[in-house]
């Protein structure tokens, strides 16, 4: 047996072993028991292999358990960055909302500056609240210096959107944009929609005083907006 043949056999054996390991992880990630899935994700992150990435990304799109999803994201941050980023970016165009939101969440954790262009305006305005919230977090973490103002303008279109948690997420996103975000919020305080105006006003208050609770800030902002809109008595 020649040395070349021996090397080829070893390479084939190695590929077969890697394929089997990847299949085992994929099977465990699809198990009905959440603890089994959690252990599989932990194993994949503790012993990162490029072969695991596809299964991890695929599971992110359908995993119902929060703690397992969190472990899946952690495992992806431990894998080879180049290959992981490429596969995660593909999920941003998925028709499955959870696939998009988890991909955005993972990108925010990876923190790779070159992924900024992938955080599109469409994602920032996504009809699914969880996707939009994840996009806001990712965008404010990845936005290049000098682009904060343009991002704030897009985020301002979402003021007044959704329930309390959605609005709080947007307020926190604005808090990451500094003066550029505050300038846009100042303009939104006079918006014709009272809920938009109140959300902008409350967000400014929270930026200026982070210790103030969101609920108190938004209620006080609504009263202020209502008073300003009331007709004056001569």
Return the minimum-mean-pLDDT range out of 81-90, 100-109, 124-133, 224-233.
Answer: 224-233
Mean pLDDT of 142-152: 97
Contact 121, 133 (CB under 8 A): no
Burial of residue 82, with CB atoms counted within 10 A of its CB: 0-12 exposed, 13-18 middle, 19 or more buried: exposed
Q: Is the pLDDT of residue 28 over 80?
A: yes
H-helix or E-strand spanning residue 216 = helix 214-229
Q: How confident is the model at residue 211 (pLDDT cuts 50, 70, 90)?
A: confident
Residue 199 C-alpha from the chain's centroid = 22
Contact 177, 170 (CB under 8 A): no
Q: Is the pLDDT of residue 1 over 60?
A: no
Which of these, 122, 101, 103, lies nearest to 169 by C-alpha position?
101
Q: Is the pLDDT of residue 4 over 80?
A: no
H-helix or E-strand spanning residue 34 = helix 34-46
CB-based contacts of 51, cutoff 8 Å, min separation 6: 18, 19, 21, 22
What does the pLDDT look like over 50-64, one tens digit per residue?
999 999 999 999 999
Phi, psi of 95 (to 5 degrees): -80, -10
Greater confidence, 161 or 13?
161
pLDDT at 16: 47
H-helix or E-strand spanning residue 20 = helix 3-29
Question: Using CA atoms in the order 125, 127, 132, 135, what is the torsion angle rounded to 10 degrees?
Answer: -60
Burial of residue 18, with CB atoms counted within 10 A of its CB: 0-12 exposed, 13-18 middle, 19 or more buried: middle
pLDDT at 12: 44
What does the pLDDT look like over 84-126, one tens digit per residue?
999 999 999 999 999 999 999 999 999 999 999 999 999 999 9
CB-based contacts of 73, cutoff 8 Å, min separation 6: 60, 102, 105, 106, 109
Q: DSSP labels for 148-188?
A: HHHHHHHHHTTTT-SSHHHHHHHHHHHHTSHHHHHHHHHHH
User: Could you say which DSSP state residue 96 is in?
Assistant: S
């Amino acid at each position: 047996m020649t040395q070349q043949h021996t090397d080829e056999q070893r390479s084939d054996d190695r590929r077969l072993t890697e394929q089997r390991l990847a299949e085992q992880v994929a099977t465990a990630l699809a198990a009905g028991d959440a603890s089994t899935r959690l252990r599989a994700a932990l194993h994949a992150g503790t012993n990162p292999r490029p072969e695991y990435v596809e299964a991890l990304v695929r599971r992110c799109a359908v995993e119902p358990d929060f703690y397992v999803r969190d472990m899946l994201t952690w495992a992806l941050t431990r894998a080879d960055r180049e290959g992981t980023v490429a596969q995660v970016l593909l999920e941003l165009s998925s028709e499955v909302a959870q696939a998009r939101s988890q991909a955005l969440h993972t990108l925010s954790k990876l923190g790779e500056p070159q992924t900024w262009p992938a955080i599109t305006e469409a994602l920032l305005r996504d009809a699914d609240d969880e996707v939009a919230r994840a996009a806001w977090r990712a965008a404010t973490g990845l936005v290049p210096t000098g682009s904060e103002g343009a991002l704030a303008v897009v985020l301002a279109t979402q003021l007044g959107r959704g329930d309390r948690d959605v609005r709080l997420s947007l307020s926190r996103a604005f808090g990451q944009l500094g003066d550029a975000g505050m300038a846009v919020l100042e303009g939104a305080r006079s918006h014709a929609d009272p809920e938009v105006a109140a959300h902008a006003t409350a967000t400014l208050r929270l930026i200026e005083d982070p210790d103030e609770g969101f609920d108190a800030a938004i209620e006080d902002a609504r009263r202020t907006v209502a008073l300003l809109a009331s007709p004056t008595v001569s």
